Amino acid sequence: MQAAEEWIPIWEPDMTPTGRTALKAEAHRNGWWHPTVHIWCFDAARNVLVQRRSASKKTFPGLWDVSVAGHVSAGEEIVDAALREIQEEVGYEAKAGDLKLLGIFPERNQHPGGIEDYEFHHCFTLEMPLPHPQLTPETGEVDALAWVQLLTLTQETLGLTAPGKYVPHDPEYYGAVFREIRQRTVL
pLDDT tens profile 9-19:
999 999 999 99
Q: Give which of 176, 153, 179 is closest to 166, Cα–Cα.
A: 153
Sorted by sequence, the CB contacts under 8 Å of residue 85 that are 6+ apart come out as: 37, 39, 68, 69, 70
Q: How confident is the model at residue 162 (pLDDT cuts 50, 70, 90)?
A: confident
pLDDT at 3 exceeding the cut of 60: no
CATH architecture entry for 7-184: Alpha-Beta Complex (3.90)
Domain boundaries, the chain: 7-184
The chain-wide mean pLDDT, for the chain, equals 94
**What would the pLDDT profile of 65-77 be if each residue is shown by its tens digit?**
999 999 999 999 9
Instruction: Give the pLDDT confidence score for residue 55 in this predicted structure.
Output: 95
Q: Is the pLDDT confidence value at 1 over 60?
A: no
Of 68 and 58, the structure prediction assigns the larger pLDDT to 68
